Amino acid sequence: MTTRSTPDTSRRSERSRKAILQAARDLVAETGYAKLTIEAIAARAKVGKQTIYRWWPSKGAVLLDSVLALSQADQDQDITLPDTGDIETDLKALMRATAAEFAAPAFAAPLRALTIEITADPRLADDYHKRVAAPMEEAKKQRLRSAQRAGQLAADADLDLILDMLYAPLAQHWMLHSGPLASDYTDRLVDAVLRAFSPRT
Amino acid sequence: MTTRSTPDTSRRSERSRKAILQAARDLVAETGYAKLTIEAIAARAKVGKQTIYRWWPSKGAVLLDSVLALSQADQDQDITLPDTGDIETDLKALMRATAAEFAAPAFAAPLRALTIEITADPRLADDYHKRVAAPMEEAKKQRLRSAQRAGQLAADADLDLILDMLYAPLAQHWMLHSGPLASDYTDRLVDAVLRAFSPRT
DNA sequence: TATGCGAACCGAGACGGTTCGTCTTGACAA
DNA sequence: TTGTCAAGACGAACCGTCTCGGTTCGCATA
């Protein structure tokens, strides 16, 4: 009886792996989520379907790896955010950069497709948080802690709540096409959040 | 040449319409989004497939009507939110009620399915905002304006931004399974937002 | 060192099963 | 008489599995 659950990683074709992730990103950016099928990815990557099914459990898992490869080209490296010493400046720059990513099809299209899969699949959501969201949030919290030490945020401020209040409204606008992604919006968002969590005077 | 784009509304079967919306809601709550197919809805509603395709352009459009029928059983009536005179009390109650809806499968499952369709289809997103989100947001803004008049919010507070900062973090947690929906979370959210938009002293 | 062998990968695509969206049929109602 | 209705046949697309040779790798034997 052969166990089919664990293919031999050491013999995996790196060329095929990269071609599949690249094909998934290109296809979703060019033709949209609706036309992103396993068959289309395989054809585009010049790869047999079985090669995809062997290494990924679902289309969403392929997308997760695609987005991961896109967001940290430099791998296994801890993310560090700019620190000018002024939290308002840094957060506004960070939020503007995030909005710019949402506006760039090459980045936004795969991320939107992944978000759809995540919404429908809680297990994929777990993987996403562990491998993509958590490292990014940790970097942001580092920057917020630095601001706390500098007396620019209340000492007892809830950093997770701050990140939610900053990121969620922008992400919501982008995902549901429900509002602007412009920098004056993100600036006002940062202003409001800093007002809520400024040190007591 | 017969124009197929405008079927005769006056001859539409009300029984079939209701059965289809009900079947969509029941199916998605029982078996999940992945198994929600047009064929399954038709079978469940004891309806021909063509009856669905005749009246709705997509599965997402059916879901939109399903959710709409669910959220305003009393139709075409302007929504009015409770007003105890204290904005903090009212907002905390509103947010707890919203979190409770997210936790109830009969309501949450169709809404989650609709959200997925909306994320993939900007035109459906437009319809959703016009027919579902906008009326609810207008009711919330009425309550916020009343709080402004009572001096509980800054006179120049951005009401749209307030609603974003309240709703988006909660919705994000629910959609992406990324955090708690508990009432102590929504309470802290309300506290933070009110801190940011309290009147200048 | 060179040769041979088995295992697991690879691309390609056949296969049966679902679902899609369209089309046809005959019944029924305005 | 006309248009909607339930039912379901139809071809196309995609699913996930399986099969087929071809290739690559590790290991054993000479």
Chain D: bases < 7 Å from a protein Cβ: 3-9, 13-19, 25-26
Chain C: bases < 7 Å from a protein Cβ: 8-14, 18-24, 30
Task: Quote the percentage of chain A above a pLDDT of 70.
Answer: 96
Task: Quote the percentage of chain B above a pLDDT of 90.
Answer: 89
Sequence-distant (≥ 6) Cβ neighbours of residue B125 within 8 angstroms: A176, A177, A178, B118, B119
Helix (H, G, I), strand (E, B) or coil at B13: coil
Reference A119, options B97, B111, B131, B60; nearest CA is B111
Q: Report chain A's mean pLDDT, rounded to a whole number.
A: 94
Q: Which has more confidence, B72 or B199?
A: B199
- Can you tell me the distance from the alpha carbon of A12 to that of B37, in angstroms, rounded to the nearest whole number? 37
Which residue ranges does chain B devote to CATH 1.10.357.10?
87-196
b/e code A89-117 from CB counts within 10 Å (16+ = b): ebbbbbbbebbebbeeeebbbbbbbbbbb
Fold classified for A87-196: Tetracycline Repressor; domain 2 (1.10.357)
Search chain B and give the residue with CA nearest A116: B116
> What does the pLDDT read at residue A3?
43
Neighbour tally for A61: CB within 10 Å: 18
- On whether the B11-55 domain is CATH 1.10.10.60, my answer is yes
Among chain A residues 15-54, those with CB within 7 Å of any atom of strand D: 35, 37-40, 48-50, 53
Task: Using the predicted structure, report yes or no on whether residue A134 has a pLDDT greater than 90.
Answer: yes
Task: Quote the percentage of chain B above a pLDDT of 70.
Answer: 96
Task: Using the predicted structure, report yes or no on whether residue B193 has a pLDDT greater than 50.
Answer: yes
User: Measured between alpha carbons, how far is residue B18 from residues A178, B25, B32, B33 in Å?
Assistant: 29, 11, 20, 20
Could you check: is the Cβ of residue A37 within 7 Å of any atom of nucleic acid strand C?
no
Mutate to test the interface with B, among A166, A172, A198 (most CBs of B within 10 A): A172
pLDDT band at A175 (very low <50, low <70, confident <90, very high): very high
A-B C-beta contacts closer than 8 Å:
104
Reference B151, options B78, B100, B87; nearest CA is B87
Show the CA angle centred on residue A42, arms to residues A40 and A43, nearest 5°.
65
pLDDT by residue (tens digit) across B19-65? 999 999 999 999 999 999 999 999 999 999 999 999 999 999 999 99
> What does the pLDDT read at residue A58?
97
Fold classified for A12-71: Arc Repressor Mutant, subunit A (1.10.10)
Tell me the mean pLDDT in the region A24-49: 98
Could you check: is the Cβ of residue B59 within 7 Å of any atom of nucleic acid strand C?
yes
**Angstrom distance, B2 CA to D3 C1':** 12
Which residue ranges does chain A devote to CATH 1.10.10.60?
12-71
Task: Using the predicted structure, report yes or no on whether residue B112 has a pLDDT greater than 80.
Answer: yes
- Can you tell me the distance from the alpha carbon of A2 to that of B93, in angstroms, rounded to the nearest whole number? 57
Any chain A CB within 8 A of the CB of B128? Answer: yes
For residue A161, the surrounding DSSP H or E stretch is helix A159-176
- Amino acid letter, A145: R
pLDDT band at A1 (very low <50, low <70, confident <90, very high): very low
Q: Which has more confidence, B130 or A71?
A: B130
The nucleotide lying nearest B45 (C-alpha to C1') is D6
Q: What torsion do the CA atoms of A91, A93, A98, A101 make, to the nearest 10 degrees?
A: -170
